[in-house]
C-alpha cells in the first residue's frame, strides 16, 4: 500500500515538473506576443475546465472512445483466430508469417486512401484504420502464446478425457491468456495513437477532428486542451488495459501466471563460503538449496 | 485364474520418419493383473513410454490387441501421469486436482467433496491453495497423481514419476505411492529405469529389451520379498534382473540360467 502511494506520488511529481518545464519554456523562451505564447499551460488548463463544463469536449471524447472500442473489437475478432491458426498450423505459420510480418510493418495511416475508397467518409474508415493498427499485435502475440503452449498440458487434458472443446476452453485458452493480453495491451496503445490522426479525415466528431477544428478557428488554447485530454485519456486507457490485460500475476519462467505473494524460501544464519573452497549444499527437494546461492543474500564469513 | 486389468497381445508399433519405418516394439505381449504394481524396466529408448501411452489410449497399436479388463478400451479406466508433473501453472493445486472432474468424461466421479477428500488422503491439504511454482518436486508429483486419483480410474500409469527427485524424497514417495495403491486397490504400471525403484515398487518387474523393444522377462518380485528381502533368494533375483538389465539386447526366447529356478513368466504370461 505504502509502495503504491509512493508510486502515485512520484507520478504526480513527474507530471508537475513537466508542467513547470512547459510553463517556463513558454514564459522565458517565447516572445509574449508570439503565436506560441498562446500554447501556455495556464491558458490551456483554464480552457480545459471551461470545455469540460460545457460538455462539447466530452462529446468528442466519447465519439473517439466509441471508435477505438469498435476498432479494437474488429482487431480482436480478426487477430485472435488468425493468431490461433498461425500458432497451431505449421504450414500456415511458414506461409502466412512473412505476410503478417510485412503487413505489421506498414503504418496504419498508409491505408487511408484505400480506407476512403472502400468505406467512404464517416466512422467506418476510422474504425478500419484503428483495426489495421491493432490487429497485428493481437495476432502475433496470440500465435506466440499458442506456440509456447506446453504440449504436455494438452496430453494431460486428453488423457483425462477432455474433448477438443473442453481442452480449448480449459487448457488452451487460459494457457495463451498472458500472451493474448499482452497483445491486447499493445494493440490498445497503437489504436489510440492511430485514432487521432485518423479522425482528421472525413469525420465531424472526435478528438482528432476537434484539434483540426480548433486550429481552423485559431483557438490554440482549445487545441492544447484537446491535446491534454488525448494524453490523459491515453494514459487512462493504458492504465485500464494494464488492469484488464496486464501482468497482475507473478511472473514464472518469463510469463505471468499467478497473483503475487511472497514466499520465504530460506532463513537462518546464512551460508559460509570460504575463498578457494568448494561448499556443497544438500537437502530434500524444495528447501531452497538452489535458491540460496543464486538469489539469496551473500553472507561473508567474519574474518 | 488371475483377473487381468490390461493385456497387450502381439503388439507392434513403429514410427514413420519420411520413408523410414522405425519399429519401436514388435511382438509385445504383456499382462497386468488387477490390483498389482507392475514395474516396467528397460533402457532409454526401448519403447517404455510409448507402450504406456498406448495403454493410456493416447496412441494406438499398429498391429495387435489391447484389452482393458478383458474388453476393448471404451470408458475411461486408465489414467496416466507423465515424468514432468505438468500441472497447469495458472491453477492452484486444488484446482489442478479438480481439472479432470470438469471434463464430461469424468462426471461419474463428481461429488461435492471429491477434491478435498483426495487432497486430504494424499496429504496435500496444506498446499491446496498453492500454485505449482510454489511446490517442491515431491509435492508437485503428488498433486500430479492426485489429479488422476480424483477421477476414480482404477488403473494408473506412471511414467518415471520420481526420476527428477532427490533420493530421500524419491524413497518417501515410493512408500507413499504403495500406501495409496493398497488403500484404493489400484492397478499401477510404473515405468522406471531405476532397478532399485522397480524392485521396491513392483509386485512384478517387466524387463524390456532395446530397440525394437519387447518384454524380455517378467519377474515376480513380491514372492521373493522385494527390496527388503536380504535372503539369498532375494539377492539372486536382484542380481539376475540386474544382469538382464545391463546386458545387451538379446532375443527374448534365449534361455537364461536363472529362468527356470525363479517364478518368472516369460513374455509376461
- Put simply, the answer to whether B131 touches A157 (Cβ < 8 Å) is no
Neighboring chain B residues of A166 at a CB cutoff of 8 Å: 102-104
Is the CB of A157 inside 8 Å of chain B's CB atoms?
A: yes
Closest residue, chain A, to B78 (C-alpha): A159
Question: What cell does B58 get?
Answer: 493416447
Joined grid coordinates for residue B225: 520379498
- Residue A172 DSSP symbol: I
ipTM over 0.95: no
Fold of the CATH domain B39-60+155-268? Rossmann fold (3.40.50)
Asked if B133 and A160 come within 8 Å (Cβ–Cβ), the reply is no
Residue A237 has what pLDDT?
A: 85
User: Chain B contacts of A257, Cβ < 8 Å?
Assistant: 89-90, 131, 133
Question: What is the pLDDT at residue B50?
Answer: 87
Q: Which H/E stretch holds residue B205? A: strand B204-208
- Taking only the tens of pLDDT, chain A with its 303 residues reads 577 788 889 988 998 999 999 999 988 888 888 888 888 888 888 888 998 888 888 999 999 999 999 999 999 999 999 999 998 888 888 888 889 889 889 999 999 999 999 998 889 999 999 999 999 999 999 999 998 888 888 888 888 888 888 988 899 888 888 888 889 889 988 998 899 889 988 788 899 999 999 998 888 888 999 999 988 888 888 888 777 765 544 444 445 544 434 444 444 445 555 666 665 555 444 444 444 443 333 323 233
pLDDT of residue A140: 92
| DSSP H helical ranges for chain A | 2-29, 41-54, 56-88, 90-104, 112-119, 123-148, 151-159, 164-167, 173-198, 207-216, 220-245, 291-295
- Measured between alpha carbons, how far is A238 from A162 in angstroms, rounded to an integer? 37
Instruction: For residue B47, count other CB atoms closer than 10 A to its CB.
Output: 26
Between β-strands B187-192 and B204-208, what pairing exists: parallel, antiparallel or unpaired? unpaired
Predicted pLDDT at B199: 83
**Option in A156, A283, A284 nearest B86 (CB):** A156
What residues in chain B have per-residue pLDDT under 70?
Answer: 1, 75, 211, 223-235, 237-238, 241-269
Q: Is A95 on the interface with B (CB under 8 A)?
A: no
Instruction: Note whether B90 contacts A174, CB cutoff 8 Å.
Output: yes
Question: What distance separates the 2 farthest-apart alpha carbons in chain B?
Answer: 56
B258 vs A: CB within 8 A = no
Question: Cell numbers 467512404 label which residue?
Answer: A120
Spell out which residues of chain B touch residue A163, defining contact as CB-CB under 8 Å: 103-105
Kindly determine whether residue B89 and residue A252, on different chains, have CB atoms separated by under 8 Å.
yes
Where residue B103 falls (left for φ over 0; alpha for ψ -120 to 50; beta otherwise) is beta
How much is the pLDDT for A114? 92
| Cβ neighbourhood burial of B127 (10 Å; 0-12, 13-18, 19+) | buried
- Looking at residue B60, the DSSP 8-state letter turns out to be -
The strand ranges marked E within B54-161 are 63-68, 78-81, 155-159
Q: Which positions 146-205 of B are in contact with A (Cβ < 8 Å)?
A: 147-148, 151, 165-166, 168-169
Count of beta carbons in the 10 Å neighbourhood of residue A242: 14
Give the pLDDT confidence of A172-200 residue by residue, as tens digits. 888 888 888 889 889 988 998 899 889 98
pLDDT of residue A248: 47
Residue of B80, B89, B139 lying closest to A159 (CB–CB): B80
Task: Please judge whether B151 and A175 are an interchain contact, meaning their C-beta atoms are less than 8 angstroms apart.
Answer: no
3-state secondary structure of A259: strand
* Contact: A249, B90; criterion CB under 8 Å: yes
Tell me, yes or no, if A280 comes closer than 8 A to chain B by beta carbon.
no
Polymer length in residues for chain B:
269
Q: Which residues of B touch A175 (CB under 8 A)?
A: 88, 90
Q: Is A260 part of the contact surface with chain B (CB cutoff 8 Å)?
A: no
Please give the domain boundaries of chain A with CATH numbers for all domains: 42-303 (1.10.3720.10)
pLDDT tens, position by position, A9-38: 998 899 899 999 999 998 888 888 888 888
For chain B, helix (H) and strand (E) counts, in that order, are 7, 9
Whole-angstrom distance, CA of residue A84 vs CA of residue A140? 9
Chain-chain contact of B151 with A152 (C-beta, under 8 angstroms): no
Domain extents in chain B: 39-60+155-268, 78-153
CA dist., res. B10 & res. B173, Å (int) = 34
Question: CA of B250, closest CA in chain A: separation in Å?
Answer: 33
Amino acid at each position: 500500500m505504502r509502495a503504491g502511494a509512493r508510486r502515485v506520488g512520484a507520478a504526480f511529481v513527474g507530471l508537475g515538473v513537466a508542467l513547470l518545464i512547459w510553463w517556463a519554456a513558454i514564459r522565458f523562451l517565447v516572445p509574449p506576443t508570439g503565436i506560441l505564447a498562446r500554447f501556455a499551460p495556464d491558458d490551456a488548463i483554464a480552457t480545459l475546465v471551461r470545455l469540460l463544463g460545457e460538455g462539447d469536449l466530452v462529446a468528442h471524447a466519447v465519439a473517439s472512445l466509441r471508435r477505438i472500442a469498435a476498432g479494437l473489437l474488429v482487431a480482436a475478432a480478426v487477430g485472435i483466430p488468425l493468431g490461433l491458426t498461425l500458432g497451431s498450423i505449421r504450414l500456415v505459420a511458414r506461409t502466412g508469417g512473412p505476410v503478417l510480418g510485412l503487413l505489421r510493418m506498414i503504418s496504419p495511416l498508409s491505408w487511408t486512401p484505400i480506407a476512403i475508397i472502400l468505406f467512404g467518409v464517416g466512422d467506418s474508415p476510422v474504425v478500419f484504420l484503428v483495426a489495421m493498427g491493432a490487429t497485428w499485435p493481437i495476432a502475433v502475440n496470440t500465435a506466440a502464446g499458442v506456440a509456447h503452449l506446453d504440449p504436455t498440458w494438452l496430453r494431460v487434458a486428453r488423457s483425462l478425457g477432455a474433448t477438443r472443446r473442453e481442452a480449448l476452453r480449459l487448457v488452451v485458452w487460459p494457457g495463451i491468456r498472458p500472451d493474448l493480453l499482452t497483445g491486447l495491451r499493445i494493440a490498445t496503445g497503437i489504436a489510440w495513437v492511430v485514432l487521432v490522426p485518423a479522425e482528421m479525415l472525413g469525420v465531424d466528431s472526435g478528438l482528432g477532428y476537434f484539434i483540426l477544428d480548433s486550429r481552423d478557428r485559431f483557438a490554440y488554447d482549445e487545441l492544447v486542451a484537446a491535446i491534454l485530454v488525448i494524453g490523459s485519456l491515453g494514459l487512462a486507457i493504458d492504465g485500464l488495459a494494464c488492469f484488464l490485460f496486464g501482468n497482475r500475476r507473478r511472473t514464472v519462467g518469463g510469463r505471468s501466471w499467478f497473483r503475487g505473494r511472497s514466499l520465504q524460501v530460506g532463513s537462518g544464519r546464512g551460508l559460509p563460503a570460504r575463498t578457494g573452497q568448494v561448499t556443497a549444499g544438500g537437502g530434500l527437494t524444495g528447501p531452497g538449496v538452489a535458491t540460496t546461492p543464486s538469489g539469496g543474500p551473500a553472507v561473508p564469513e567474519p574474518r | 485364474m488371475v483377473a487381468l486389468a490390461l493385456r497387450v497381445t502381439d503388439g507392434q508399433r513403429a514410427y514413420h520418419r519420411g520413408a523410414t519405418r522405425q519399429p519401436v516394439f514388435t511382438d509385445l505381449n504383456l499382462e497386468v493383473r488387477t490390483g498389482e504394481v507392475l514395474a516396467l524396466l528397460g533402457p532409454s529408448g526401448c519403447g517404455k513410454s510409448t507402450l504406456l501411452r498406448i495403454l493410456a489410449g493416447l496412441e494406438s497399436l499398429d498391429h495387435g490387441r489391447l484389452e482393458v479388463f478383458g474388453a476393448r478400451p471404451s470408458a475411461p479406466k486408465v489414467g496416466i501421469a507423465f515424468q514432468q508433473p505438468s500441472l497447469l501453472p495458472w491453477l492452484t493445486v486444488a484446482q489442478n486436482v479438480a481439472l479432470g472432474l470438469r471434463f464430461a468424461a469424468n462426471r461419474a466421479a463428481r461429488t461435492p467433496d471429491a477434491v478435498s477428500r483426495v487432497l486430504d488422503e494424499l496429504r496435500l491439504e496444506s498446499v491446496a491453495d498453492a500454485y505449482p511454482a510454489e511446490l517442491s518436486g515431491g509435492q508437485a508429483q503428488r498433486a500430479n497423481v492426485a489429479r488422476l486419483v480424483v477421477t476414480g480410474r482404477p488403473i494408473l500409469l506412471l511414467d518415471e514419476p520420481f526420476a527428477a527427485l532427490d533420493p530421500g524424497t524419491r524413497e518417501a514417495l515410493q512408500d507413499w505411492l504403495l500406501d495409496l495403491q493398497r488403500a484404493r486397490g489400484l492397478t499401477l504400471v510404473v515405468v522406471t529405469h531405476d532397478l532399485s525403484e522397480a524392485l521396491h515398487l513392483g509386485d512384478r518387474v517387466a524387463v524390456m529389451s532395446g530397440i525394437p523393444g519387447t518384454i524380455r522377462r517378467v519377474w515376480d518380485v513380491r514372492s521373493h520379498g522385494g527390496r527388503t528381502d536380504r535372503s539369498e533368494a532375494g539377492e539372486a533375483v536382484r542380481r539376475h534382473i540386474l544382469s538382464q538389465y545391463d546386458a545387451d539386447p538379446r532375443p527374448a526366447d534365449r534361455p537364461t540360467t536363472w529362468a527356470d529356478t525363479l517364478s518368472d513368466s516369460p513374455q509376461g504370461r
